[in-house]
Amino acid sequence: MSIFLDKNSKVIVQGITGGEGSYHTSRMLAYGTNIVGGVTPGKGGQKTEHGLPVFDTVKNAVNATGATHTVIFVPPPFAADALYEAHEAGITFAVCITEGVPVHDMLKVVATTHGMRIIGPNCPGLISPGRSSVGIMPGHVFKEGNVGLISRSGTLTYEVVDLLTRAGFGQSTCVGIGGDPIIGTTFVDCLREFKNDPQTDAVVVCGEIGGSDEEDAAAFIKAHMPEMPIVAFIGGRNAPPGKSLGHAGAIISGTFGTPQSKINAFKAAGVPVADRPSEIPALLGERLAVRV
Amino acid sequence: MNLMEYQGKELFRRVGIPVPRSQHCKTADDVAAFVEKNPGNWVVKAQVLMGGRGKAGKIKFAKNADEARAVTTDILATPMPPNRQNPNGEPINAVLVEETLDIALEAYCAIAIDRTTKKPVVMVSKFGGMDIEEVSEKHPESIAKHFIDVAVGYSPFIGRELAFASELDPGFRKQFPAIVAGIYDLFFKYGAKLVEINPLALTKDGRVIASDAKIELDDDALYKNPEFKDWQAVLPLDEDEALAAAAGLGIRNFRRFPGDVGTMANGAGLAMGTMDAVKNAGGEIANFLDVGGGANAERVRKCYELVVNHTPAKVFFVNIFGGITRGDEVAKGIVQAMKETTSRKIPLVIRLTGTNEKEGREILAAAGMTPVETMDEGAKRAVELASA
């Protein structure tokens, strides 16, 4: 088992004939993702360069293919519309890769698309190694195994995964939840899934400064999964207040979102916090050893 | 993008939030002419983004045209003095001349985005006119909050509930729901991440008026209101953001710090991780830089020049995780960029991992650069070179 995504998940790509959409469709297909088609308004009836059917609307795509998952590669002004369309067509799982989606668009989307899980926006997607990849993660650094990983970032996730893989820790599912202030799926949402996933024996949480998602995660761990070996890391510890670094959400305002508050919360929940990514595998090994 | 007070009040006017009668002026003569034509008691307020105008003597009162000219000349004579967040202070290019309010009471009212509930949150306190951080420390119980269900939107009961919960003076009550309706309207219509009225004044003659305006707009939503491009032109430029834009980077992708280890990484998370790694190795970073995807020669050269020309960096630590980007292509880009640049030369430490890492490192070594295998190792080497 894995969370959110397995080998049989039927995936469509919104924006499949665009540059990014087309390129990453090739990569996802090469990884083994069950992509059943794509959507580009006005190009319905055509085939993509990968030989996949193109539909004018998500509704047509869902009716013809039975897709349940979508991955969205459309420019920021159209991202909310793409999510509404997916929801209306009965899609239950949407990954929004798009960076720069207006935050008020997302406030409305999350309030009105009940029944559809959204990952992102501004995220690299997710991967269940050896089974399926939906998004833009580089498949070759991942290895199938029993460690779940959740992160607000992209390349830092690959860095951590690479360290884990090299240390012999494979992964069940890795989710990049995105770096924006309003995102569809939080750390807590992922932890809840990992808690119930028989394949996942341990979790790595890669947080960063800004917001309180890490504090919420720590509280959830303390209350609901104290037995699970979990290791955390907080990126951006040396960032100054009031300035966002790269991610719109990575901003310390006042006493809110400081690294120390996050570290304290994890420590209070019995979760060791690595000072640097390279310490994560060893800390994870210790936690797993204690459990056995 | 943060708005100046006069810009914020213009938006208030449009959504029906009462504001004092006022005139935006650029010179002392303009102010004097306005007061001459409109006799009365006026206050002249410097238009800057920084806080602390009152303490800095940049808000002054005038009863006639001569006084108005004198205080405006005085306000415009010197820039805002520096503080911790703005070490360079801020130039003053304009003032707002505003009717003096006869204030009985001051309250606080704001709308912001709550990340945990994923809803807009309206916050109200009967303690207005002071820093809200100070209020939340001294009187945390005084702040009433309401999380608005976006699917339903604003309804006047929300304003009524907040007025009662925060124990606002009864004088505010009747007009208060319309004020909250206004900030909610503004929040969505103009893509504001924060709208703050502090103080919200109750005048002795019973009017409820926004005496100040603090608004932060979502940069990602600016395209929806093209007029904001002109509004932005009068705002003081954040130098780092301007430099980033000039180098073809996103405005959030570059920021300078006081140290001497220049950095560049692909991806915001890894760039933050790189800063942390340098600090862990005992060094001080000169900058944060996320080069984004596709680190080709031109892009690498622009980033390199951005760092060497605008920071005192003694070494340039490049940290690339080749996920989708191929290591050999990045290496070729770095080598070519170094050949092409005419800027000052500083040593490079390059950490290159991921796709085609071996080929990449060979290309770098052949060009006389220092490739390393891990982020920690690279940070250590960079710190050594910077202190050598």
Question: Cα–Cα distance between A77 and A88 in angstroms, integer?
Answer: 19
Fold category of B27-93 in CATH: Dna Ligase; domain 1 (3.30.1490)
Q: Where are the alpha helices (DSSP H) in A102-201?
A: 103-112, 155-166, 187-195
Q: Which residue has the tokens 């004044």?
A: B201
Is residue A252 very low, low, confident or very high in pLDDT (cuts 50, 70, 90)? low
Q: Which residues pair with B322 in a beta bridge?
A: B354
Smallest Cβ distance to B252: which of A152, A213, A248?
Answer: A248
Catalytic residues of B: 108, 196
pLDDT reported for residue B267 = 86
Q: What is the mean pLDDT of residues A57-77?
A: 97
pLDDT reported for residue B135 = 83
Report the SS3 class of residue A240. coil
Domains and CATH numbers, chain A: 1-122 (3.40.50.720), 138-292 (3.40.50.261)
pLDDT reported for residue B252 = 85
Sheet holding B95-99, edge to edge: B22-25, B95-99, B42-46, B59-62
Closest Cα of chain B to A78: distance in Å? 12
Q: pLDDT, tens digit, for every residue of B128-141?
A: 988 787 888 888 88
Is residue A125 very low, low, confident or very high in pLDDT (cuts 50, 70, 90)? very high
Q: What is the pTM of this model?
A: 0.91
Is residue A237 very low, low, confident or very high in pLDDT (cuts 50, 70, 90)? confident
pLDDT reported for residue A131 = 94
Per-residue HEC secondary structure of B256-314 comes to ECCCCEEEEECCHHHHHHHHHHHHHCCCCECEEEECCCCCCHHHHHHHHHHHHHHCCCC
pLDDT at residue B22 is higher than 90: yes
Helix (H) or strand (E) holding B163: helix B156-165
A205 touches chain B (CB under 8 A): no
Q: Which residues pair with A132 in a beta bridge?
A: A128
CATH code that applies to domain B239-387: 3.40.50.261
Cβ atoms A154, B269 nearer than 8 A: yes
Question: Cα–Cα distance between A196 and A191 in angstroms, integer?
Answer: 9
% of chain B residues with pLDDT over 90: 71
Q: What is the mean pLDDT of residues B196-206?
A: 97
**Longest CA span, chain B:** 80
Contact pairs from chain A to chain B, CB under 8 Å: 163
Q: Which of 3.30.470.20, 3.90.1150.10, 3.50.50.60, 3.60.20.10 is the CATH number of B6-19+102-235?
A: 3.30.470.20
**Strand duo A273-274 + A230-235: pairing:** parallel
Is residue A254 very low, low, confident or very high in pLDDT (cuts 50, 70, 90)? low
% of chain B residues with pLDDT over 70: 99
pLDDT reported for residue B133 = 78
Q: What is the mean pLDDT of residues A98-119?
A: 96
Cβ atoms B334, B365 nearer than 8 A: no
Chain A residues whose CB is inside 8 A of the B137 CB are none
Which sequence spans correspond to the domains of chain B?
6-19+102-235, 27-93, 239-387
Q: Do B270 and A141 touch (CB under 8 A)?
A: no
Smallest Cβ distance to A208: which of B188, B266, B269?
Answer: B269
pLDDT at residue A242 is higher than 90: no
Greater confidence (B149 vs B323) lies with: B149
Greater confidence (A93 vs B89) lies with: A93
Q: What is the mean pLDDT of residues B143-147?
A: 95
Q: What is the mean pLDDT of residues B279-294?
A: 89
**Strand duo A117-119 + B42-46: pairing:** unpaired
Report the SS3 class of residue A148. strand
**B371-378 contacts at long range (C-beta below 8 A, 24 or more positions apart):** B371/B331, B374/A278, B375/A159, B375/A276, B375/A277, B375/A278, B375/B273, B375/B274, B375/B277, B375/B319, B375/B351, B376/A276, B376/A278, B376/B277, B376/B280, B376/B281, B377/B351, B378/B277, B378/B317, B378/B319, B378/B349, B378/B350, B378/B351
Q: pLDDT, tens digit, for every residue of B345-362?
A: 999 999 988 878 888 889
Q: Do A138 and B376 touch (CB under 8 A)?
A: no
Q: Do A250 and B268 touch (CB under 8 A)?
A: yes
| ipTM score assigned to the predicted complex | 0.89
**Active-site annotation holder among A24, A69, A87, A247:** A247
Q: What is the mean pLDDT of chain B?
A: 92
